[in-house]
Copies of this chain bind each other. A is one copy, B any other.
């Protein structure tokens, strides 16, 4: 599948940091950046920009905040072929934390929101665009929205300046048919805008669903090295590059990066195909209950976890 409009964004550090509170070694982050540059990946999302008045820096690694100075140290000495991105959440970042583009190592700042907050996301995105950055709006957990909510959010977005809008399968709950329906709907409602896709691998469908989104017209594709990401993780970057028949991408640097850094890291922190996350994906539930289960002594009690999520509580019966 070669389509010159397609861009790939690696979110290894940003999404992977949700596992370990962004406590990656500088060596791993620097090697990731250098390898992504060598592989020709278009963007690297290195973390979240967040206000230090809301998150205690002693509890989080530096990629929870993405201070421009920390970023500059990482990229120093590497030929900068890959653009840098960070993500912001509504209400968790202050305008003063975002420099103007000309003084920042970042090219893109992405806004994550729920459908109910699309208006706030548009406002934040406008501020980011005004400072000279590229920007996207990533609408999380759309698998939980009603059709009316989606219609309303897309209508608002259609009137905005946001150039890129993402379909995000936060819960790893979607099948290829859901992807097709949403990508087609986003495309129809948002003429002239680029559609992005961000998947989770709860049911081993992250790569397959990304392929489906490409077929349906998505041109901005998220992936991560060896699939790193909270819980089941994301679409694997190495799989995606092997699918995209684009001579500007090189698979080998990503394979080297996996064997040198991400395979050893996987021995220390957990992500991948893990049954409790498969169950939350199947039930279209937030993974937080699976995360708690994996942190408990019953982490491998899969049938017990399934029972807990599927057996109605007595009081449920009166909610008719």
Which chain A residues have a beta carbon within 8 Å of chain B's beta carbons? 175-177, 201, 203-209, 211-212, 215, 227, 236, 238-239, 242-243, 251-252, 255-256, 258-259, 263, 272-273, 275, 278-279, 282, 300-303, 306-307
Contact = CB atoms under 8 A, between A and B. Distances in A.
Given A252-B307, A255-B303, A205 B203 contact: no
B206 A204 contact: yes
Nearest 9 A/B pairs, CB to CB: A208-B208, A255-B302, A256-B303, A242-B282, A259-B302, A255-B303, A204-B207, A204-B204, A205-B208
A263 B236 CA distance: 23
The number of times this chain is found in the oligomer is 2
A251 B282 CA distance: 11
A251 B306 contact: yes
A238 B204 contact: no
A46 to B, nearest CB: 24
5 contacts: A176-B215, A201-B204, A208-B211, A252-B303, A272-B273
A273 B258 CA distance: 13
Contacts of A175: 211, 243
